[in-house]
């Protein structure tokens, strides 16, 4: 990878690190924050669900905006939205206003709709042969988030004695400021007028391609089962009489599993192929579910959530790389936007359902709900292989 491309990917990886550290803090603490300030305890995961909904709704405008003004300016605008969300979230916790906290997480979700394009920006900054590695390196930025996020959440949770986790959310604002400074040094290609003028194929035609279908299902369901199980995990651990610091440690292993494999996922894809890696991710997610259904001790939670993280990594990076084969340069903005819209729409739905299902049906129901998602991914991979064989025979 050329030095200029490597520098760009490195800066994007650092921005991804800061974004994921903030998201990790929210994922660990948000349900517990909701539990402490919400009148209706079945709504404790609503702030996280609204964050995902805001991310979903922002994916298309964010992509189209960056097509016009460029990636760098778009990313900086997103960081400002995240900074506003963190500040409002801190105030909402201090004043114990659940509705205001929901608005704050929605703002942070709008920021995340821009963050989702760091991986595509990295792919665009280098040649096609290095795309999976560039995507992997940016996703690998979350390794630091895996270590720092849970520790920062635990360290700062009591900084404001009458507002538990207020300090944790306040730290997110500082992370946004750091990201803004980093983005001033990112140099990315400006939008090409020729690409903007060429419309390419219709979105319907692009989305009907088997490659797009499988890439979208891998991302949607891989991210969905991860969010579904992960969101309820702190609640399940507290219900099983595990202290918060144990839940934070389990989430640390989970986030580490999500991002640490990124250092070699690109190489594994090059060696074994995209579809086998996506299938492996689905199998690992099923292994997590199996462990969760059998045991609820600390070691079991740690192993299961680590497997869930690694499974997400293979599914997410594999599906993202597969998606880059589904569009032409002039089609990238609308294709990426459609893909991420579908992904975050599904994630928002399962995140919202997670709290309610856990409250009314329990931890086992959460895990059972993830099984058909992964079975569908495996079925889609088999279908794509059959489609490829049919085309090769003609």
Q: Which domain CATH number covers 384? A: 1.20.1250.20
Residue 194 counted as domain residue: no
Q: CA angle, corner 342, sides to 338 and 345, nearest 5? A: 135
Q: Which residue has the higher pLDDT, 131 or 231?
A: 231
Residue 193 counted as domain residue: no
Average pLDDT (329-341) is 88
Residue 222 counted as domain residue: yes
Helix (H) or strand (E) holding 162: none
Residue 387 counted as domain residue: yes
Residue 192 counted as domain residue: no
Q: Tokens representing 378?
A: 């495996």
Q: Which residue has the higher pLDDT, 331 or 199?
A: 331
Phi then psi dihedrals of residue 141, to 5 deg: -55, -20
Residue 284 counted as domain residue: yes
Residue 195 counted as domain residue: no
Phi then psi dihedrals of residue 337, to 5 deg: -65, -45
Confidence of residue 191 (pLDDT cuts 50, 70, 90): low
Residues 6+ apart with CB under 8 A from 212: 206, 323, 326, 335, 339
**Domain total in the chain:** 1
Alpha helices, DSSP H, located in the chain:
3-37, 46-69, 71-95, 98-115, 118-124, 131-140, 142-156, 166-183, 193-197, 203-207, 210-239, 244-259, 262-272, 274-294, 298-323, 332-361, 363-393
The domain in which residue 380 lies consists of: 3-186+200-393
* Separation CA 334–CA 34 (nearest Å): 35
Average pLDDT (173-181) is 94
* Whether the predicted pLDDT of 251 surpasses 90: no
Residue 348 counted as domain residue: yes
Confidence (pLDDT) at 394: 41
* Whether the predicted pLDDT of 391 surpasses 70: no
Q: Which residue has the higher pLDDT, 52 or 362?
A: 362
Confidence (pLDDT) at 278: 96
This prediction has a pTM of 0.74
């Amino acid at each position: 990878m050329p030095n200029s491309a490597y520098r760009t990917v490195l800066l994007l990886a650092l921005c991804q690190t800061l974004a994921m550290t903030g998201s990790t803090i929210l994922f660990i603490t948000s349900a517990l924050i909701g539990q402490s300030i919400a009148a209706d305890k079945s709504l404790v995961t609503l702030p996280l669900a609204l964050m995902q909904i805001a991310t979903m709704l922002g994916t298309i405008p964010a992509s189209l905006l960056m097509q016009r003004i460029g990636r760098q300016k778009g990313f900086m605008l997103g960081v400002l939205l995240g900074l506003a969300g963190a500040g409002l979230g801190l105030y909402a916790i201090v004043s114990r206003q659940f509705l205001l906290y929901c608005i704050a997480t929605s703002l942070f979700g709008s920021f995340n709709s821009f963050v989702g394009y760091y991986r595509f920006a990295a792919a665009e900054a280098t040649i096609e042969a290095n795309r999976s590695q560039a995507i992997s390196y940016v996703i690998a930025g979350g390794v630091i988030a895996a270590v720092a996020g849970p520790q920062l959440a635990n360290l700062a949770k009591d900084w404001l004695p009458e507002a538990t986790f207020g300090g944790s959310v306040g730290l997110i604002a500082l992370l946004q400021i750091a990201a803004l400074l980093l983005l001033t040094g990112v140099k990315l290609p400006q939008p090409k007028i020729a690409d903007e003028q060429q419309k390419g194929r219709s979105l319907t035609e692009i989305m009907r391609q088997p490659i797009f279908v499988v890439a979208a299902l891998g991302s949607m369901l891989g991210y969905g089962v991860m969010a579904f199980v992960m969101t309820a995990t702190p609640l399940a651990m507290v219900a099983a009489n595990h202290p918060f610091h144990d839940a934070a440690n389990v989430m640390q292993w989970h986030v580490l599993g999500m991002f640490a494999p990124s250092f070699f996922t690109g190489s594994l894809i090059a060696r074994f192929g995209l579809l086998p890696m996506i299938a492996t991710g689905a199998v690992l997610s099923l292994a997590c579910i199996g462990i969760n259904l059998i045991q609820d001790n600390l070691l079991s939670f740690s192993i299961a959530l680590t497997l869930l993280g690694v499974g997400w990594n293979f599914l997410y990076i594999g599906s993202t790389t597969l998606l880059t084969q589904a569009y032409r340069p002039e089609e990238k903005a609308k294709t990426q936007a459609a893909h991420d819209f579908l992904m975050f729409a599904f994630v928002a739905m399962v995140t919202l359902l997670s709290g309610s299902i856990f409250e009314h049906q329990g931890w086992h129901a959460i895990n059972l709900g993830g099984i058909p998602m992964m079975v569908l991914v495996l079925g889609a991979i088999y279908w794509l292989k059959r489609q490829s064989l049919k085309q090769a025979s003609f």
